[in-house]
Amino acid sequence: MQRRDFLTTGAIGTAATALSAPALAQERREWSLVSAWPKNLPGPGVAAQTLADRITTLSGGRITVTLYAAGEIVPSGGVFDAVSEGTAQLYHAVPAYWGSKSKGILLFGSQPFGLRADEQFGWMAHGGGQVLYDEMYGRFGIKPFLCGNSGPQWAGWFRNEIASVEDLKGLKFRTTGIASQMASKLGMAAQAMSGSAMFQALQTGALDAGEFIGPWTDSALGYYQVAPYYYWPGVGEPSSAEECGVNAAAFADLPDDLKEVVTQACLGLYNPVWTEYTTKHAQALKTLVEEHDVKVHKLPDDVIAAMGAAAKEVMQEYLSDDDELVRRITESFIAYRDLVGGYMTYADNGQMNARAEVFGY
């Protein structure tokens, strides 16, 4: 090689090296995920860690996500604001916690007598729900994704048996979201608090009853030790979606391939999380009944009917809300529920009823 060729090649190589190092450094992002849950809490705490790991892995390390449990950077109830303000890039929580921002947000997580886990995802993906979800959260500088679902929640843990609607009046009851609005119309004193605080309140009598998630998570928190009566069905939350909120500016700054990584990491987690809940709930319920003598009771029919009437009142208020976006979200949810619900009479409901009645093997 001639000296001139060497110098030319070396100059190009040096320039390329000088350019590539900053470019590579720019490509790598360190993101914080703040969670509404204790670290490794069965169910949502595990799912939050899985989400952080997925984004890191699928991005090939171009986005490294570090999980911070509730209280490590901000308290459980502060994760939405932390991401909205840019203190963190991601949060993992449930929409049921953000009703103070707008009650329209609550419909994306759960609705009394509303959507099952598969229907909730169907509304978002095929019924126009995601467009409304983006519009609502866009008010707060957040890009939202559903990333899991606990499946049907339970009516709750009660210190005493429930025989009629009258037994609900004045009952101090832990719940969240639209279910709390339904409970209030029935004369219950609805209170929002963390899962661990619910145990302490049941133990001391500050609460008479409460619902959190379902057998898997609830048994880990020990509710059966302080409230022996476990009631179903959880009509207040036929499913409860978990969500990842991404700081909108941070998301917009990503190249297209990394936007897709974050999107698919979230959406791709929905079914694995939901089916894990279903499996672990079934296993945990068996243990609660057989080893801990938990009494499983169905809510009386008149109580379910009264809850339905109260939920209808709440939805009528949503349909006449001053906020036009809240009205559109409510109309979209009800239209999708009625459409798919009509079909389910012949499809999933028909299959489940037949299986329960005959089983065959």
Give residue 324's pLDDT: 98
Q: What is the pLDDT of residue 27?
A: 83
In the block, residue with structure tokens 């004193």:
189
Of the candidates 50, 52, 144, the one whose C-alpha atom is nearest the C-alpha of residue 94 is 144
Q: Which pLDDT belongs to residue 359?
A: 77
Q: Please state which of the ranges 57-66, 216-225, 290-299, 350-359 shows the lowest mean pLDDT.
A: 350-359
For residues 244 and 92, the answer to whether their CB atoms sit within 8 Å is yes
Q: What is the pTM of this model?
A: 0.91
Maximum CA extent, the chain: 98
Q: Is pLDDT at 85 greater than 50 in this prediction?
A: yes
What is the CB-side half-sphere exposure of residue 325 using CA atoms within 13 A?
17
| Residue 143: φ, ψ to 5° | -100, 115
Is pLDDT of 41 > 90?
Answer: yes
Is the torsion defined by CA of 230, 152, 172, 299 positive or negative? negative
On average, the pLDDT of the chain sits at: 93
Least confident span in 7-16, 60-69, 113-122, 318-327: 7-16
Give the DSSP H/E element, type plus range, for residue 231: strand 229-232
Sign of the C-alpha dihedral, residues 127, 130, 133, 139?
A: negative
Tens digits of residue pLDDT in 294-342: 999 999 999 999 999 999 999 999 999 999 999 999 999 999 999 999 9
Residue 146 φ/ψ, nearest 5 degrees? -75, 140
At 64 the pLDDT is 98
- Residue type present at position 52: A
Q: Which residue has the higher pLDDT, 220 or 3?
A: 220
Distance from C-alpha of 63 to C-alpha of 288, rounded to nearest angstrom: 41
- Check residue 171 and report its DSSP letter: -
Distance, in Å, from the CA atom of 66 to the CA atom of 32, rounded to the nearest integer, reads 5
* Cα–Cα–Cα angle for 334, 336, 340, rounded to 5 degrees: 120
Q: Output the pLDDT for position 360.
A: 76
Number of H helices, E strands in the chain: 13, 11
Is pLDDT above 60 for 12?
A: no
* Structural domains present in the chain: 28-151+239-278 (3.40.190.170), 156-236+294-357 (3.40.190.10)
Please say whether the beta carbons of 216 and 42 come within 8 A: yes
Q: Is 306 within 8 Å of 184 (Cβ atoms)?
A: no
Name the phi and psi angles at 359, rounded to 5. 65, -55
- pLDDT, tens only, 114-157: 999 999 999 999 999 999 999 999 999 999 999 999 999 999 99
User: Given this model, what pLDDT does residue 26 score?
Assistant: 52
Question: Is a pLDDT exceeding 90 seen at residue 45?
Answer: yes
More confident residue, 272 or 3: 272
CB 238 within 8 A of CB 154: no
